[in-house]
């Protein structure tokens, strides 16, 4: 990924980076606002998940988003088909998606209340068929049955707060499903993209799979790199709910080791333009809304914290731009450029989960196809 810096631009004391490529965002509820925020934050390409309507086929949801929503975007947008009704996905539908322009699909192993859970057969067959079509399967990895049992135990014990939400999705719930998806990908002889990994154990599983010769793309998200589970013990704990939940400080440190050593390929925002509001009875912590806005702060937060930890800017550019582009076959314009000043100190004040976070460094310029946009 080469870069063309506009002539006459003063970049003294600054770091010039490729425009950000966010591999994981849910901006379609207000794509104009979300992508304008992305541009301000140095992201010039967003990979956005479709949001199928009930009963809508994956290809129909993809084409509707492509034709009606993407033209409203302030940056380049590519679409990931999110498979919310896995029974609607078969090889013929994958072929239709491929013809429509999709290069990926996302399967879920959680959220049974929404009918999203893809079983082992669906995972295996989709991995197999997508690979043959040159498409990449993305997987949300949590063991849904274990979560359901832990939820029942928690509610029976009268635990209904944000901490209980996190405790019903412990690290092993993620890691057990990561292991299973990796085994199914190995069986299918297919690459796989693991979204929002949050634990040291998940990274160890990725390393082991790669030693076996598997092609595995490993994604972390901004919040897992700077926030930890202690937030669930504070007075505003509900503000930090996300699935998977925030983890221990040791896991945060392990994720940064994964960024530095190449285990983690990409960092996404998992931006949610509108929070997920589950339909459960009042008093059930599963009814609490969750999901973060974070598309604007992804680059500043990761560049700031990465530099503080001694991670090279070249490596940070890999996870924030180059690798997401490689994973999904994107060739960004060489005029997509971010100019980062590493000196200013400021504090995020946006009402999000990142509100109050101190940042060192600020974006000075953002160019999309050599035209200033941020």
pLDDT tens, position by position, 135-173: 999 999 999 999 999 999 999 999 989 999 999 999 999
Which of 52-61, 243-252, 283-292 has the lowest average pLDDT? 283-292
pLDDT tens, position by position, 205-260: 999 999 999 999 999 999 999 999 999 999 899 899 999 999 999 999 999 999 99
**pLDDT-derived band of residue 4, with 50, 70 and 90 as boundaries?**
confident
The predicted structure's pLDDT at residue 291: 86
Give dist(CA 359, CA 351) in Å, integer. Answer: 15
pLDDT for residue 351 is more than 80? yes
- Backbone φ and ψ for 216, nearest 5 degrees, come out as -130, 125
List b or e across 48-66, with b for residues whose CB sees 16 or more CB atoms inside 10 angstroms. Answer: bbbbbeeebbbbbbbbbbb
Cα–chain-centroid distance for residue 346?
25
pLDDT for residue 28 is more than 70? yes
Mean pLDDT on 11-30: 96
What does the radius of gyration of the chain's CA atoms come to, in whole angstroms? 20
CA angle 256, 357, 319 (to 5 degrees): 35
Mean pLDDT on 184-192: 99
pLDDT tens, position by position, 100-123: 999 999 999 999 988 999 999 999
* DSSP conformation class of 82: B
Order of strands, sheet of 20-26, starting from the edge strand that comes earlier in the sequence: 76-80, 43-49, 20-26, 271-272
Structural domains in the chain plus CATH codes: 19-332 (3.20.20.140)
Which of 11-15, 260-264, 275-279, 322-326 has the lowest average pLDDT? 275-279
Peptide bond into 244 cis (omega under 30): yes
**pLDDT-derived band of residue 61, with 50, 70 and 90 as boundaries?**
very high
The predicted structure's pLDDT at residue 1: 60
Q: How many CA atoms lie within 13 A of 91 on its CB side?
A: 10
The predicted structure's pLDDT at residue 283: 66
Count the residues in the chain.
374
The predicted structure's pLDDT at residue 3: 67
> Strand, coil or helix: what is 269?
coil
Beta bridge partners of 15: 340
């Amino acid at each position: 990924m080469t870069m063309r810096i506009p002539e006459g631009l003063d970049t003294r004391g600054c770091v010039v980076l490729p425009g950000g490529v966010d591999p994981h965002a849910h901006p379609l509820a207000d794509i104009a606002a979300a992508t304008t925020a992305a541009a301000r934050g140095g992201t010039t390409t967003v990979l956005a998940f479709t949001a199928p309507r009930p009963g809508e086929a994956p290809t129909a949801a993809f084409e509707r988003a492509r034709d009606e929503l993407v033209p409203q975007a302030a940056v380049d947008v590519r679409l990931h088909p999110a498979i919310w009704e896995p029974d609607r996905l078969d090889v013929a539908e994958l072929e239709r998606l491929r013809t429509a322009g999709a290069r990926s699909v996302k399967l879920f192993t959680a959220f049974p209340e929404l009918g999203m859970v893809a079983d082992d057969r669906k995972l295996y067959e989709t991995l197999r068929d997508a690979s043959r079509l040159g498409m990449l399967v993305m997987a949300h990895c949590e063991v849904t049955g274990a979560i359901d049992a832990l939820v029942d135990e928690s509610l029976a014990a009268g635990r209904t707060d944000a901490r209980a939400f996190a405790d019903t999705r412990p690290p092993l719930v993620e890691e057990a499903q990561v292991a299973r998806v990796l085994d199914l990908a190995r069986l299918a002889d297919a690459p796989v993209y693991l979204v929002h990994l949050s634990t040291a154990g998940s990274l160890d599983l990725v390393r082991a799979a790669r030693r076996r010769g598997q092609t595995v793309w490993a994604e972390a998200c901004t919040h897992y790199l700077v926030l930890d589970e202690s937030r669930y013990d504070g007075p505003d704990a509900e503000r930090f709910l996300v699935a998977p939940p925030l983890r221990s400080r040791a896991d945060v440190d392990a994720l940064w080791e994964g960024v530095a050593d190449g285990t983690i390929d990409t960092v996404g925002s998992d931006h949610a333009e509108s929070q997920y509001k589950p339909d459960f009875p009042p008093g059930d912590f599963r009814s609490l809304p969750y999901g973060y806005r974070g598309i604007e702060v992804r680059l500043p937060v990761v560049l700031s914290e990465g530099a503080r930890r001694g991670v090279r800017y070249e490596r940070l550019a890999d996870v924030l731009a180059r690798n997401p582009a490689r994973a999904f076959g994107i060739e960004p314009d060489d005029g997509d450029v971010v100019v980062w000043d590493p000196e200013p100190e400021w504090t995020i004040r946006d009402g999000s989960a990142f509100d109050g976070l101190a940042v060192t460094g600020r974006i000075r310029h953002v160019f999309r196809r050599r035209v200033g946009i941020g």
